[in-house]
């Protein structure tokens, strides 16, 4: 069902808005509307614009909460705003200091890794680096050269060049080394090495001793830095773990104050009066509350001289349509998923949740009737719903119960039809009866859908759909009369006089044919007939033919209910045959188990989709529009 709503206007001194929101509105669900839009016919109003002072604090709190593990839980302490602010600022300062130290250590780690990477290829050089770096008459160049150029250099150039190349290391692509050259020949030698694509590597004076000694020293320093970083991470995690509860409590307080302050975006302000006797500026809040909540709220603020409330069940003039807040029993809640997928009902529309729950579960059970498989779906869906709170799991569980019930009706347990007698009929033994019952079920559902459309149209004062639509009174008379005549002929009863049949079927057809001009006539519109009368006749004939065709196809569409019941029984009989259960020989229980799993998984999915198709196209399509606006409490929005 849809909760009744009250449109409410709340006003008071501008400076008192925070107290009202924190002390009163935070206890109730209220769907706020933009006050400036709602009160557009009121002059001298302006937006309530103030910067949210809790924004920076909320950002700090969110950054801290993001660092917590998923298992962190709040302590449940009732903190004041000052206490929450102090906790957030203190923790931010501590974490910032730890992060600064961490960044410094990471910079050192990266620096040592870079030093190690540079010196590693030269570890074979057994000479003090500091002495090399301070040569006065001999120049040096550390670097690498590709094998291709190094081979050419060794064969054709090296012996005639005034240089010494000391090879330190090599891999499949490069040779690492250092060459020495007299200072007087440095330019010539550098030019030749450069032409051979020698890639120079610059070593800093941080190295001490031989390259191997420097490498080991740097490696020990790196290990120490890595150890310090690990200790720092552990210290940070321990600090966050110790303070996680109070952090979450403080975060909740800051988030609430931020959200409550942000309510100003939906408020309007009266202009300040230049009057020495009264210069107070008032805020105005507009929104929708459930009727029961509204009554409680009014009782609570009745003694408060600074809060003024005006309510209206219809909303202010020109106000937006009321939002939809569904209120159903717990076992119906999962089926709201299907309703919302199609579209929420409008405020003055019929809530189809109960209808969906009954028809979806009934159709699913009829198409997938098996005691064993139904119980598996019911138990599995229930456990998944309790653990994961998935609406689709709740739907599967309830549909599984109906499958179990129809399994008893069909006498089927994991495909075996000789374990229990069955109190209705076995599908494979009564094929025509199952199909006929399916069509009759479709007729009943179409009539129910038309009646629901009539009730919706009355509530919404939609005379077009009420009187002349194929799903209105005209459609009900035509379809009901046509089905009655067919039923009488099939059962052998005498039909009414031809003239009565023609009137019973002809008058609704004529009204549906002239639907557009008749609607304009009863709503007192000036131009009843469209200008292009020939085009109107052609369009009406096509629409009438489509209506007649849809009645037929929609009715026949319900054959799928019986067809899938037969399909399920047929597939399980194949499984039993493959397992040898029907031949009287020893039964292969592995095939029985695998077969049941395959049939339950594959056919259960297909049946679920087909039933949803019936709901949306054959039932919802006749009476349900789903144009509602969801009720959203300001407490749920940031």
| Interval 138-193: pLDDT, tens | 999 999 999 999 999 999 888 888 999 999 999 899 999 999 999 889 999 999 99
What pLDDT, on a 0 to 100 scale, did the predictor assign at position 526? Answer: 65
Percent of the chain with pLDDT strictly greater than 90: 41
Distance, CA of 438 to CA of 447 (rounded, Å): 14
Name the architecture of domain 5-48+267-312. 2-Layer Sandwich (3.30)
Identify the band that residue 637 occupies on the pLDDT scale cut at 50, 70 and 90: low
Identify the band that residue 274 occupies on the pLDDT scale cut at 50, 70 and 90: very low
Residue 615 phi/psi, 5-degree rounding, is: -60, -50
pTM of the model: 0.73
User: What is the torsional sign of CA 435, 436, 441, 447?
Assistant: positive
Burial environment of residue 344 by CB neighbours within 10 A (0 to 12, 13 to 18, 19 or more): buried
Q: Taking each helix axis from N to C terminus, what angle separates 55-66 and 211-261, rounded to the nearest 10 degrees?
A: 130
What pLDDT, on a 0 to 100 scale, did the predictor assign at position 276? Answer: 42
What pLDDT, on a 0 to 100 scale, did the predictor assign at position 528? Answer: 60
Residue extents of the structural domains in the chain: 5-48+267-312, 127-209, 327-431+558-625, 462-553
H-helix or E-strand containing 138? strand 138-146
| Interval 557-616: pLDDT, tens | 999 998 988 888 888 888 888 887 766 567 788 888 898 899 888 888 999 999 999 999
Instruction: Give yes or no on whether 5-48+267-312 and 127-209 have one common fold.
Output: yes
| Interval 534-551: pLDDT, tens | 777 787 788 888 888 888
Q: What mean pLDDT do residues 196-208 have?
A: 89
- How far from the centroid of its chain's Cα atoms is residue 88's Cα? 31
Name the architecture of domain 127-209. 2-Layer Sandwich (3.30)
Distance, CA of 382 to CA of 388 (rounded, Å): 10
Identify the band that residue 529 occupies on the pLDDT scale cut at 50, 70 and 90: low
What pLDDT, on a 0 to 100 scale, did the predictor assign at position 109? Answer: 94
Largest CA distance in the chain: 129
Ranking 46-60, 103-117, 459-473 by mean pLDDT, the lowest is 459-473
How far, in Å, are 53, 58, 93, 266, 531 from residue 257 at the CA level? 9, 9, 22, 16, 61
What pLDDT, on a 0 to 100 scale, did the predictor assign at position 222? Answer: 93
pLDDT at 632 over 70: yes
Return left, alpha or beta for 206; rule: phi > 0 is left, psi -120 to 50 is alpha, else beta. Answer: alpha
């Amino acid at each position: 069902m849809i909760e009744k709503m009250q449109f409410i206007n709340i006003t008071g001194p501008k400076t008192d808005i925070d107290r009202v929101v924190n002390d009163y509105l935070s206890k109730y669900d209220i769907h706020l509307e933009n006050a400036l839009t709602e009160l557009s016919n009121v002059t001298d109003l302006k937006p309530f614009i103030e910067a949210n002072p809790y924004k920076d604090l909320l950002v700090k709190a969110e950054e801290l909460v993001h660092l917590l593990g998923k298992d962190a839980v709040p302590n449940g302490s009732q903190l004041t705003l000052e206490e929450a602010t102090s906790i957030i600022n203190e923790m931010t300062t501590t974490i910032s200091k730890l992060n600064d130290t961490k960044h410094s250590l990471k910079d050192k780690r990266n620096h040592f890794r870079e030093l190690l990477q540079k010196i590693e290829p030269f570890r074979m050089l057994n000479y003090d680096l500091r002495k090399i770096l301070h040569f006065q008459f001999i120049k040096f160049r550390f670097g690498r050269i590709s094998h291709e150029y190094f081979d050419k250099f060794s064969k054709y150039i090296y012996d005639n060049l005034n240089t010494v190349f000391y090879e330190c290391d090599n891999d499949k692509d490069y040779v690492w080394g250092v060459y020495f050259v007299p200072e007087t020949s440095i330019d010539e030698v550098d030019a030749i090495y450069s032409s051979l694509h020698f890639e120079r590597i610059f070593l800093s004076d941080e190295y001490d001793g031989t390259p191997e000694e420097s490498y080991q020293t740097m490696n020990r320093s790196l290990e120490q830095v890595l150890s310090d970083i690990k200790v720092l991470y552990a210290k940070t995690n321990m600090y966050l773990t110790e303070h996680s509860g109070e952090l979450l409590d403080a975060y909740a307080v800051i988030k609430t104050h931020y959200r409550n302050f942000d309510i100003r975006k939906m408020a309007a302000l009266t202009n300040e009066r230049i009057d020495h006797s009264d210069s107070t500026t008032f805020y105005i809040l507009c929104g929708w509350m459930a009727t029961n909540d509204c009554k409680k709220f009014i009782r609570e603020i009745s003694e408060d001289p600074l809060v003024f409330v005006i309510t209206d069940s219809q909303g202010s003039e020109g106000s937006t349509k009321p939002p939809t807040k569904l209120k159903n029993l717990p076992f119906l809640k999962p089926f709201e998923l299907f309703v919302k997928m199609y579209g929420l009902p409008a405020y003055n529309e019929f809530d189809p949740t109960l209808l969906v729950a009954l028809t979806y579960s009934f159709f699913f059970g009829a198409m997938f009737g098996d005691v064993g498989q139904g119980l598996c779906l019911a138990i599995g869906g229930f456990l998944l719903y309790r653990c994961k709170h998935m609406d689709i799991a709740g739907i599967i569980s309830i549909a599984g119960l109906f499958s179990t019930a129809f399994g008893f009706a069909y006498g089927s347990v994991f495909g075996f039809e000789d374990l229990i007698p069955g109190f209705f009929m076995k599908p494979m033994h009564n094929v025509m009866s199952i199909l006929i019952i399916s069509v009759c079920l479709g007729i009943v559902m179409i009539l129910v859908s038309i009646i629901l459309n009539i009730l919706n149209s009355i509530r919404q004062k939609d005379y077009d759909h009420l009187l002349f639509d194929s799903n209105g009174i005209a459609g009900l008379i035509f379809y009901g009369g046509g089905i009655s005549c067919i039923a009488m002929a099939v059962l052998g009863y005498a039909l009414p006089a031809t003239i009565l049949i023609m009137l019973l079927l002809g008058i609704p057809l004529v009204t549906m044919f002239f639907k557009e001009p008749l609607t304009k006539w009863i709503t007192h519109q000036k131009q009843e007939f469209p200008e292009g009368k020939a085009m109107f006749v052609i369009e009406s004939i096509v629409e009438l033919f489509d209506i007649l065709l849809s009645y037929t196809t929609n009715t026949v569409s319900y054959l799928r209910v019986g067809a899938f019941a037969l399909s399920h029984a047929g597939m399980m009989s194949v499984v039993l045959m493959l397992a040898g259960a029907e031949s009287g020989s020893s039964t292969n229980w592995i095939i029985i188990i695998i077969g049941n799993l395959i049939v339950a998984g594959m056919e259960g999915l297909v049946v679920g989709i087909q039933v949803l198709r019936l709901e949306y196209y054959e039932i919802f399509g006749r009476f349900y529009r789903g144009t509602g606006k969801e009720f959203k409490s300001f407490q749920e929005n940031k």
